[in-house]
Amino acid sequence: MSNEEAERIEKILTDLGICTFQGRKVVLSEELLSVALSTNAESRYNVAMEIVAKRVEEKSYTGLSGDNELDKVAHYLATIFWFMEKKQEEGRSLQHA
């Protein structure tokens, strides 16, 4: 994925109110952080797709260029969820060290 494509997806996620980006830091609402940390690997993409699709519908968002871009945004969000989970696991392992 190019930087331009990533920036476009990050703008969409921000426009939808799903998360914000502060440099390399991702900020999720408490509700979405809870979802991210409780979603297993098998359902991560499906949960992300539901969240994105719901927000697109709620906001009558027209900034997506078709289902392919919706899919890319959902994959990007699922990847964010994965990173959040890994970050939490690292924190736990540091606390137990």
DSSP tag of 1: -
Encode pLDDT of 5-46 as tens digits.
999 999 999 999 999 998 878 888 888 888 888 888 889 999
Gyration radius (Cα) of the chain, Å: 14
pTM flag (> 0.95): no
Encode pLDDT of 37-46 as tens digits.
888 888 999 9
60: left (phi over 0), alpha (psi -120 to 50) or beta: left
